[in-house]
């Protein structure tokens, strides 16, 4: 009986994956990711540029584990418009490997709709600026796509089928 209970608990933990209430954000990583990040032009992923018509984005991670993303584009106009605003909470976890500097991130979007995105990021400092490589994919509700992993690296969204079309490059502006 006890072993069945332990088996059920183990299965629940494995299936649970990246749940908002399971882990506290890693304070060390939050210092790296916290701030306002800007991406534009070819630094935007091909998917967000070509599919969504976005020409720039501002992504902000706050110390209280909330985030906002605003995407901008022209949409048949001559002045930039806010295309969409997204917000929610996030968790990020450090990879337990000295060779891998890529970390995992989970975004629990609450606006404009509820969904969960999982992926990877890497922050680098090239004095005096910080840059971040970022790749996430929707995992809940399930859309038959699988997130990238630190072990497989950037371009590993959905088993590599997206190649590098889903990678964003950001520069820290605040």
Q: Which whole number is the average pLDDT over 86-114?
A: 90
Confidence of residue 2 (pLDDT cuts 50, 70, 90): very low
Peptide bond into 47 cis (omega under 30): no
The pLDDT score that the predictor gives to residue 30 is: 53
Contact 78, 66 (CB under 8 A): no
For the segment 120-170, what is each residue's pLDDT rounded down to a tens digit? 999 999 888 999 999 999 999 999 999 999 999 999 988 887 778 999 999
Q: Are 130 and 171 in contact (CB under 8 A)?
A: yes
Q: How many CB atoms lie within 10 A of CB 16?
A: 10
Tokens of 98: 């000295």
- d(C-alpha 19, C-alpha 13), whole Å: 10
Q: Which pLDDT band holds residue 77 (cuts at 50, 70, 90)? A: low
- The CA-to-CA distance between both ends of the chain, in Å, stands at 55
| DSSP strand pairing (103-111 vs 81-93) | antiparallel
Mean pLDDT of 102-126: 95
Question: pTM value?
Answer: 0.78
pLDDT tens profile 8-63: 333 233 334 555 444 444 434 557 899 999 999 999 999 888 878 899 999 999 99
């Amino acid at each position: 009986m006890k072993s069945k209970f332990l088996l059920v608990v183990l299965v629940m933990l494995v299936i649970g994956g990246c749940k908002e209430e399971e882990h506290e954000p890693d304070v060390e990583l939050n210092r790296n990711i916290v701030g306002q990040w800007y991406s534009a032009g070819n630094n935007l992923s091909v998917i967000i540029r070509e599919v969504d018509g976005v020409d720039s984005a501002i992504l902000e991670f706050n110390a209280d584990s909330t985030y906002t993303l605003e995407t901008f584009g022209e949409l048949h106009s001559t002045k930039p418009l806010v295309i969409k605003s997204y917000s929610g909470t996030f968790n990020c976890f450090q990879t337990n490997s000295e060779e891998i500097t890529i970390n995992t991130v989970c975004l629990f979007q609450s606006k404009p709709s509820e969904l969960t995105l999982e992926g990877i990021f890497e922050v680098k400092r090239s004095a005096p600026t910080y840059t971040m490589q970022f790749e996430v994919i929707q995992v809940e509700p399930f859309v038959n796509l699988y997130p990238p992993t630190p072990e497989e690296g950037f371009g590993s969204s959905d088993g590599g089928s997206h190649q590098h079309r889903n990678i964003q490059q950001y520069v820290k502006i605040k």
